[in-house]
């Protein structure tokens, strides 16, 4: 059975873990794009310019297929992967976790680093408020003015959101539908015989 919802976090949070003088400050953010990831990482590099490492991981998209783990100079697999593992353990997507490390003068070794990055990421995600969101699909509608109210009424009945309207010679709507209601909503529009549904945006 295909998933109809996904889970993310509501707002940025931070947590801190210390080991042998090193500080690991974990920042978790809700994000939608790789551009947003870069913005947060760059801001932390600037705000914590005296830190030694800015390691991070993220997972994006309702299918979770877009992800990255960055060790930022730590031994390979000792930072980014443990952070990503905590995002996945929490069952989250559209999430970025950055762990800023201030070096304390004592080497922790790879097992120590894995533990530190894993623990700090886990603590930040535990503090975060979790959100359950509908997986949605977008469709494009076209109809005459007399049928506009029907188009919008059917959308609302199926918890769909009209995200854009273009009202000129005819009515064109961009509608985002929860996946759980997608089939029923399309069928209701098509039953009117006056509402044209496109599954891809008309060029």
| pLDDT above 90 (res 201) | no
Structure tokens at 34: 């790789």
Q: Per-residue pLDDT for 170 more than 50?
A: yes
Average pLDDT for residues 180-189, to the nearest whole number? 96
Rounded to an integer, the average pLDDT of 159-168 is 94
pLDDT at 63: 87
135-198 has CATH 3.40.50.300 classification: no
Report domain extents, the chain. Answer: 5-132, 135-198
Decide: 178 and 135 in contact? Cβ < 8 Å.
yes
Tokens 């509501």 appear where?
A: 10
What is the CATH topology of the domain spanning 5-132? Answer: Ribosomal Protein S5; domain 2 (3.30.230)
Res 203: pLDDT: 45
């Amino acid at each position: 059975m295909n998933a109809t919802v996904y889970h993310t976090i509501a707002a940025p949070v931070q947590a801190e873990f210390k080991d042998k003088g090193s500080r690991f400050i974990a920042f978790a953010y809700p994000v939608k794009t790789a551009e947003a990831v870069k913005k947060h990482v760059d801001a932390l590099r600037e705000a914590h310019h005296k830190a030694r490492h800015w390691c991070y991981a993220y997972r994006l998209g309702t299918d979770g297929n877009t992800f990255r783990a960055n060790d930022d100079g730590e031994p390979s697999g000792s930072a980014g992967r443990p952070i990503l593992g905590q995002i996945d353990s929490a069952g989250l997507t559209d999430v970025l976790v950055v762990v800023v490390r201030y070096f304390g003068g004592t080497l922790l070794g790879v097992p120590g680093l894995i533990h530190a990055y894993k623990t700090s990421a886990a603590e930040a995600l535990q503090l975060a408020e979790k959100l359950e969101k509908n997986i949605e699909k977008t469709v494009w509608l076209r109809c005459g003015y007399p049928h506009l109210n029907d188009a919008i009424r059917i959308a609302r009945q199926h918890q769909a959101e009209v995200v854009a309207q273009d009202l000129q010679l005819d009515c064109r709507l961009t509608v985002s539908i929860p996946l759980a209601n997608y089939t029923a909503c399309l069928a209701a529009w098509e039953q009117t015989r006056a509402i044209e549904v496109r599954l891809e945006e008309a060029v």
